Amino acid sequence: MENVLPTSRVQLALNVADLEGAIAFYSAMFGVEPHKRRPGYANFVVDVPPVKLVLIEVPAGDRGEGPVGALNHLGVEVFDTSGVHDARTRLSDAGLATFDETDTTCCYALQDKVWVHDPHGTPWEVYVVKDENPADARPATASLPLLEASNPCCASHVE
């Protein structure tokens, strides 16, 4: 059987109150060190299982305990801009409301993305990283309300 490189991977973006503790835990859990670390932010690129794990530091009072407050958003990382275009077309053709972000800086990377919300308001993004370290890099917005469709991730975050 031929090895075929994946064309996408699932992304889980979690709110964490203790970034260093979360990095230690997920490094042990997946057996890899963070791919990228910035103030209040880390991400892991995990081959097995194929996942992009994003940790966004939030104050403990905003994060809460246990699974409540853990989810920031979900996503699918694709590896070229045609993957974002294809997802946008598929989602729109299915009658789902989408929100586009082109050339946006978020999670310390330049990205194109399309957003959609599930029936309960959970935000999903399909995105491609176009530049891993852009000059005007910005962090993710840590307090993404799950039921608010406007301003999905980091489009308007200003330092």
Nearest to 126 by CA among 94, 96, 155, 88: 88
At 15 the pLDDT is 95
What are the extents of the domains in the chain?
A: 8-131
Hey, what are 129's tokens?
A: 């990283």
pLDDT tens column, 99-126: 999 999 888 899 999 999 998 899 999 9
- Rounded CA gap, 21 and 158, in Å? 26
Q: Superfamily assignment of 8-131 in CATH? A: 2,3-Dihydroxybiphenyl 1,2-Dioxygenase, domain 1 (3.10.180.10)
At 3, the pLDDT band (50, 70, 90 cuts) reads low
Q: Which of 91-95, 105-109, 128-132 has the lowest mean pLDDT?
A: 105-109
At 115 the pLDDT is 95
Prediction pTM value:
0.79
At 5 the pLDDT is 60
Q: Residue 149 is which amino acid?
A: A
Q: Residue 131 is which amino acid?
A: D
The DSSP output letter for 47 is T
Average pLDDT, the chain: 85
Nearest to 149 by CA among 126, 118, 127: 118
Q: Is 116 helix (H, G, I), strand (E, B) or coil?
A: strand
What is the bridge-based pairing of β-strands 71-78 and 123-131?
parallel
At 68 the pLDDT is 86
Q: Would you say residue 33 has pLDDT above 60? A: yes
- Rounded CA gap, 71 and 110, in Å? 22
Hey, what are 71's tokens?
A: 């989810």
pLDDT tens column, 61-87: 999 888 889 999 999 999 999 999 999
Q: Would you say residue 11 has pLDDT above 80? A: yes
Q: Would you say residue 145 has pLDDT above 70? A: no
